[in-house]
Amino acid sequence: MDVTILLVEDSPTDAAILSAALDDVGCPWPIHIVQTGDEALALLGKIDSSAHPQLILLDLNLPGKTGHEVLREIKGNIVWQAIPTIVLSSSATPNDIYKSYQLHANAYITKPTNFNEYQLIARKICDFWLMTAQLPTSM
């Protein structure tokens, strides 16, 4: 399984917008979309650590386990905790942001309303996390 970006997003429209934006900026990496936290954790548990995603984009407002709960499990797992995890949420509430970093999120991005801004964010994610930052290789 060749998952490079794992997007945990229950809203199909939000997932479609981000996919379109990543497409538009020419992000060459495949995106795997799951709709719940449980699905994401199950997927991580199933695949070999060598095939782990390079980046997790995590929504906060998820059905079942909340984004924060999923984040806690990812960052509490000795193998998964090394995967850069970016919270991508509609909320700009200080509490949501603070709590995300407290749970060791690697970044917090507020979802814009405007598609142009979405494209800008998609470009920055690609440029920084997938092209600039040195990411961990599987041990």
Partner 1 sequence: MAEDPNATTAQDASSNFLSQCSPARPPILRSSLPDNHPFAPTINAAFQALLKYRQITCLLVDQQHCLLHICGDALGLLGEYGKDITSKNILDLLPASLKLPTSIVLNRAQTDGEAKCSGCAIVPPPNGQPYTVTIAASRDITSDTREVLTVLIERDDYKHLEASVDLQTTELIEVNNRLRAKVLEQQQTEQKLAHQAQALARSNADLEEFAYVVSHDLQEPLRAMTAFSQLLEQRYGQQLEASAQRYITHIVDGGTRMKAMIDGILELSRINNKQITHSPTSLEQALEIALENLELMRIENQATITHDALPTLYIHKNHIVQLLQNLIGNAIKFRGPDSPHVHITAEQQASGWLFSVHDNGIGIPQPQQKRIFKLFQRLHNQQEQEGYGIGLAICKKIVEHYQGNLWLESAPGEGSTFYFTLIVNTCQSES
Binding site for partner 1 (CB under 8 A): 11, 13-14, 17, 20, 24, 60-61, 89-96, 111-116, 118
Residue nearer to partner 1 on the CB measure, 77 or 91: 91
Q: Reduced to 3 states, what is the DSSP secondary structure of residue 81?
A: helix
Q: What angle do CA 48, 54, 59 make, to 5 degrees?
A: 105
> What distance in Å separates the CA atoms of residue 37 and residue 58, rounded to the nearest whole number?
9
- Distance spanning both ends of the chain, measured CA to CA: 17
Which residue lies nearer to partner 1 by CB, 84 or 112? 112
Rank residues 97 and 107 by Cβ distance to partner 1 and give the closer one: 97
